[in-house]
Amino acid sequence: MALTESRSLPVPQQQAWEALNDATVLKACIPGCESIEADGEHAWAVALTTKGKRSWTAWISRS
């Protein structure tokens, strides 16, 4: 998946980075997100439900 948009946040860079690494904050920001759980040092398992009531589980990792 390639992300093509950008957003400027009205907070210091460190505060934004901490939020992006906080599962509770991320869960609140992702529509339909049911859970985010650590799955290694730089990986997360994400479960979400879409508008069509379809459930998905994704594994997200950072190199």
pLDDT in tens, 7-33: 888 999 999 889 888 889 988 988 888
Q: Burial letters for 29-59: b for 16+ Cβ neighbours within 10 Å, e otherwise?
A: eeeeeeebeeeeeeebebebeeeeeeeeeee
- pLDDT at position 8 is 87
| pLDDT of 40 strictly over 60 | yes
Its domain, for residue 63, covers: 32-63
Query: Does any domain span residue 20?
Result: no
Look at the pTM and tell me if it is higher than 0.85: no
Number of domains in the chain: 1
Query: Does any domain span residue 5?
Result: no
- The CA distance from 51 to 22, in Å, is 25
pLDDT: is 14 or 51 the higher one?
Answer: 14
Query: Does any domain span residue 46?
Result: yes
Query: Does any domain span residue 25?
Result: no
Query: Does any domain span residue 49?
Result: yes
